[in-house]
Amino acid sequence: MVEELVTAGVALASVGAVYFVAAARVIKQYERGVVLRLGRLASEVRGPGFTMIVPGIDRLRKVNMQIVTMPVPAQEGITRDNVTVRVDAVVYFKVVDAADAVVRVEDYRFAVSQMAQTSLRSIIGKSELDDLLSNREKLNQGLELMMDSPAIGWGVTVDRVEIKDVSLPETMKRSMARQAEATRDRRARVINADAELQASKKLAEAAGAMSDQPAALQLRLLQTVVAVAAEKNSTLVLPFPVELLRFLERSGLQAQAQTAAAQAERSVGEKPAGPAAPGSPRPAAGAGAGTDGAPPPELEDLPESEDLP
C-alpha cells in the first residue's frame, strides 16, 4: 500500500513538473506576450517577466517592442522633371500595440518594408531633382506621413524615415559639374572686377594726393626699391624718376623746334632771284633761251627751213 502511494506521488510529481515546464514562459523586458487561447485573443497582453499558459490550449507569441532599423532597397524612378534616379532610404519604426501587430497583419515587418518601397517610388515621381538633392528634410517628412497613416492600424508607428543616397547617371553628373564650374567662374570674375574697380578708385585717390606733393612720388619709388631688394634678388630694377623723363621730353621738344627753325631759314636763303631791271643788259641768245628749249623772241618771225629758196 505504501509503495503504491509512493509510486502515485512520484507520478503526480513528474506530471506536475512536466506541466510546469510546458506552461512556464519568460518574457523579456523589451517584449510583450500575446496569448491566443483556442485561436482567440486573450483579454490582456502579458508583460515582461515570468508567466504561465495552459499547454495545448494557449499559444504565446512574443512581440519585440524595440525600435527596428530597416533599410529600404534602392528604388529607381523618374522625377517630375524627367530625370532617372536611384534612391535608397532607411526606416525606423516600432510596435506600440502588440495585439494589433499579431492579429491585424500577418507579418508587420514585411508589410512595413513593402509600404516603404512603394512610398519611396511615389515620392520620387512627385519630386524634382533639386528637391531630392537639397530639400531632403521635406521629403523625409512626406515619406513619414505616407507610411505612418496605414501603419497605425497595424499597431506600428513610424518613428523616422531618412533618404540615404541619390544615385544619378554619369551624364547628369558631368552636366551638373559643368554648371557648377560655370557658376563659380562667373562669381570669380565678378569678384575680380569688383576688386579692380575698388583698386582703381584707391589708385586715383593716391595719384591725386601724390600730385600735390612731388616728393611723395620719390618716397614711393624708394619704398618700391627697398621692397624689391628685400627679396634677395640678384637683379635690381631701378626705374627712372618721372622728373628726369619729363626733362628729357622737354629737351627733345626744344631740339626739334630748333631743327625746324634752322631748316626754315635754309629754305628761305635758297629761293631764286626776282626779274631783271629795265636797264640791265639782255642775256645772250643761247643763255636767254628758256629752260624748256623755246626760241627767243627775235627768231620767232624767221621762215621755216623748207620755205627758203
Are 67 and 93 within 8 A, CB to CB? yes
Q: Which residue has the cell 517592442?
A: 65
Element (H, E) at 231: none
Residue 175 three-state SS: helix
Whether 91 shows a pLDDT value over 80: the answer reads: yes
Average pLDDT over residues 55-69: 89
pLDDT of residue 114: 92
pLDDT of residue 195: 92
Alpha helices in 81-135 (DSSP H): 98-103, 108-126, 129-134
pLDDT of residue 239: 62
pLDDT of residue 290: 43
Q: Label residue 244 by pLDDT band (50, 70, 90).
A: low
Are 146 and 72 within 8 A, CB to CB? no
For 77, residues 6+ apart whose C-beta sits below 8 A from its C-beta are: 84, 85, 87, 121, 124, 125
**Chain CA centroid to CA 194, Å:** 21
**Which pLDDT tens digit goes with each residue over 8-41?**
888 888 888 888 888 888 889 999 999 888 888 8
Q: Label residue 190 by pLDDT band (50, 70, 90).
A: very high
**Orientation of helix 136-151 relative to helix 108-126, angle to 10°:** 140
Average pLDDT over residues 87-107: 90
Distance CA 134, CA 284 (A): 113
Residue 177 has which C-alpha cell? 559639374
pLDDT of residue 237: 63
Based on DSSP, count helices (H) and strands (E) in the chain, helices before strands. Answer: 9, 8
Are 125 and 78 within 8 A, CB to CB? yes
Distance CA 139, CA 104 (A): 29
pLDDT of residue 156: 92
**Which one is predicted more confidently, 133 or 270?**
133
pLDDT of residue 112: 92
Distance CA 15, CA 301 (A): 181
**Which one is predicted more confidently, 162 or 247?**
162
Among 185, 204, 183, which residue's Cα sits nearest to residue 193? 185
Distance CA 190, CA 171 (A): 29
Are 57 and 125 within 8 A, CB to CB? no
pLDDT of residue 277: 46
Q: Label residue 280 by pLDDT band (50, 70, 90).
A: very low
Q: Which residue ranges make up each domain of the chain?
A: 2-62, 68-172
78-92, 160-174, 201-215: range with lowest mean pLDDT: 201-215
Question: Considering the chain, what is the average pLDDT of its residues?
Answer: 80
Distance CA 94, CA 77 (A): 28
Phi/psi for 296 (5° steps) reads -70, 165
Phi/psi for 218 (5° steps) reads -65, -40
**Which one is predicted more confidently, 222 or 200?**
200
Q: What share of the chain has pLDDT > 70, as a percent? A: 81
CATH no., domain 68-172: 3.30.479.30
